[in-house]
Structure 1
């Protein structure tokens, strides 16, 4: 399998299509059917108790799978999440970035399924695990 979008093309796409959140994420590595995405953790991501909020971790999972899919199919901005299941397993550190490591499990014509492990930077055990399904827009 070959990539349809490179690391740089994905980062540019994210900046142009989602300028409201693009500064929160950086693509670390991209390979066929895999991607690693950093989420810069700031005060706006924290909840009471000194931990990263669930919605912030969901955003990282969603962005990671979305970009992994686009890397394989090209810039289809209208690919959308149709399902997500997320398990929060450990309290993430509030003072380090989060890293989402996503893999595509199935890439079909209409649907794609991806899996993400989320880590606090530097920690060996994941803080969350998510599985997402995306609807891919039909070719015209």
Structure 2
């Protein structure tokens, strides 16, 4: 699928991970569950390293854990493409759960649909298992705070 033209990341995956550690330490607390795997023009890949803490009865990764991965994907996209302003916030997130996800690595492939001055719209395909099947799909919008005086 095509991405919006002219989108160039301002941060690498490693830089985003370091920023998340400093501005959102409660995300991973003592365990590196959520991480940025890749940042590329117009998108990113994020991962949930799901273990028993993320499972609901029946051995299924919980909806809130997958929802968090979708939200983190949007946050990583806005941080890496609009600039590292930690005050960007989710204004909308819709998710469809497609099939069961089991413990293990779960990847979210996120794509920016539209990046403006005030809003970023994105979609994320969340895949898991040996065949990389879609387990959830989400779309969302992030609000980007206005640039402050002296900010580039």
Partner of 1:13: 19
Q: 1:121 to 1:38 in 2, by over 3 A?
A: farther
| Residue-by-residue CA offset, 1:38-80 (whole Å, 9 max, x unaligned) | 1110111110111000000000000011101111111111100
Q: CA RMSD in A?
A: 1.1
Runs of 4+ in 1 over 3 A off after TM superposition: none
User: Which segments of 5 or more consecutive residues in structure 2 lack a partner in the other structure?
Assistant: 1-6
The separation in 2 between residues aligned to 1:38 and 1:124, in whole angstroms, is 13
Query: How far has the Cα of 1:33 moved from its partner?
Result: 1.3
Q: Is the 8 A contact 1:104 1:114 kept in 2?
A: yes
Q: Out of 20, 31, 44, which is 2:40 matched to?
A: 31
Structure with greater Cα Rg: 2
The separation in 2 between residues aligned to 1:76 and 1:68, in whole angstroms, is 12
TM-score (norm 2): 0.87
Residue-pair matches, total: 139
Q: Is the 8 A contact 2:101 2:129 kept in 1?
A: no
Partner of 1:58: 67
Residue aligned with 1:30, SS: strand
